[in-house]
């Protein structure tokens, strides 16, 4: 038997290393993300640095991405859907564009009420829907619950987004789950009666309106407030005129929702998508969500950032966020009947 020469062995070793390197570079995952690129790409880049898995990112509106996944079907290039609000995650499962992701790690670190019961998606960060109030015009002791905002004393003093906004739909769905449909309907009517102006704009616009005195209170997601405080300029100045209040602390707790992710049914890079979702539930990513995006960690063993802690501790409701999607259609009907535009 003839043995290869030392030169040939070295050439073979070099070729083998090149093939391994090529294989590593070829490892990738395609992500459809409803999160803006600036809010997610830095942590995806860290994943690539640590794993060697390239992330191909496509961003878009949550509803638009779901429509795209449905139209692409099994030919979709997407391996993973990253989106905001449990309502949209529920819709994705109902549209049959996700497949189960069985992960002992994710089941351990993501609370049961913040993930799909059959593993189709997992929450990755938590956002609270809170009351933003004008520091000069409202005293915190005047505030208590979501329901109290329907009192006639708040007539002409409330700003809020439209009924077409998924965050408001989920808030009403959460009320249906905890208080019943009749109570949710009564609340929606009371809220509409107290509008300071027709619903318009996003959550940042509600905060700006409170700061400008166009209204005294607004319902917003807490992370928008944090983002404005970090923004500099006019947005930061507006946010500094406003404070946050966490309602229903003596009852069911403040309404919370999630951003989350699942693996698409058409995925061809399943292992890579699983690794990415587990990474996003890991300690580094959970701290990053809090520090950079002003969202609460989904994990109970991770401390919120100092900024989030400065807003105070709060009790969140324990609603299974799957109910926010399951009851969405009923919530929309209630809002329509209340003439919530």
Q: Which residues are annotated as a binding site for Fe cation?
A: 223-224
Please give the distance of CA 128 from its chain centroid, rounded to a whole number: 10
Cβ neighbors of 240 (< 8 A, separation 6 or more) are 229
The values of phi and psi at residue 126, to 5°, are -120, 140
Annotated binding site: 223-224
The values of phi and psi at residue 159, to 5°, are -115, 145
Q: Please give the Cα distance from 251 to 235 (Å, whole number).
A: 33
Which residue is it, tokens 């405080």?
229
> H helices within the chain, ranges in order?
6-26, 37-51, 62-72, 86-94, 104-109, 166-179, 181-193, 203-212, 222-231, 233-239, 270-280, 283-293, 306-310, 322-326, 328-337
Task: Report, in this order, helix, strand and coil percent for the chain, each rounded to 5.
Answer: 50, 15, 30
> H helices within 194-318, ranges in order?
203-212, 222-231, 233-239, 270-280, 283-293, 306-310
The partner residues of 80 in beta bridges, in order of sequence, read 31, 263
Three-class SS of residue 148?
helix
> H helices within 52-180, ranges in order?
62-72, 86-94, 104-109, 166-179
CB distance 79 to 301 below 8 Å? no
Q: Please give the Cα distance from 84 to 60 (Å, whole number).
A: 11
């Amino acid at each position: 038997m003839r043995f290869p020469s030392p030169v040939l062995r070295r050439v073979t070793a070099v070729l083998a290393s090149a093939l391994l390197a090529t294989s590593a570079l070829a490892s990738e995952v395609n992500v459809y993300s409803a999160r803006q690129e600036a809010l997610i790409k830095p942590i995806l880049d860290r994943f690539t640095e640590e794993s060697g898995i390239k992330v191909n990112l496509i961003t878009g509106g949550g509803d638009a991405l779901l429509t795209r996944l449905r139209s692409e079907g099994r030919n979709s290039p997407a391996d993973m859907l990253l989106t905001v609000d449990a309502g949209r995650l529920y819709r994705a499962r109902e549209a049959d564009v996700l497949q189960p992701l069985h992960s002992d790690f994710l089941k351990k670190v993501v609370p049961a009420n913040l993930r799909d019961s059959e593993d189709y998606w997992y929450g990755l960060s938590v956002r609270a829907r809170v009351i933003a109030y004008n520091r000069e015009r409202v005293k915190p002791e005047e505030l208590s619950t979501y329901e109290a905002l329907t009192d006639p004393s708040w007539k002409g003093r409330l700003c809020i987004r439209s009924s077409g906004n998924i965050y408001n739909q989920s808030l009403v769905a959460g009320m249906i789950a905890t208080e019943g449909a009749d109570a949710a309907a009564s609340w929606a009517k009371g809220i509409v009666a107290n509008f300071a102006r027709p619903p318009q704009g996003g959550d940042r616009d509600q905060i700006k309106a409170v700061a400008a005195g166009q209204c005294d209170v607004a319902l917003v997601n807490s992370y928008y407030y944090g983002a404005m405080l970090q923004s500099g300029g006019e947005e930061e100045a507006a946010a500094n005129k406003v404070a946050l209040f966490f309602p229903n602390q003596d009852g069911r707790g403040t309404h919370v929702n999630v951003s989350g992710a699942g693996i698409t049914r058409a995925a061809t890079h399943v292992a890579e998508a699983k690794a990415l979702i587990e990474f996003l539930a890991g300690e580094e990513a959970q701290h990053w969500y809090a520090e950079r995006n002003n969202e609460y960690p989904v994990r109970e063993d991770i401390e919120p950032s100092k900024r989030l802690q400065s807003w105070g501790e709060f009790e969140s409701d324990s609603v299974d966020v799957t109910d926010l999607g399951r009851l969405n259609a009923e919530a929309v009907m209630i809002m329509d009947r209340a003439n919530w535009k």
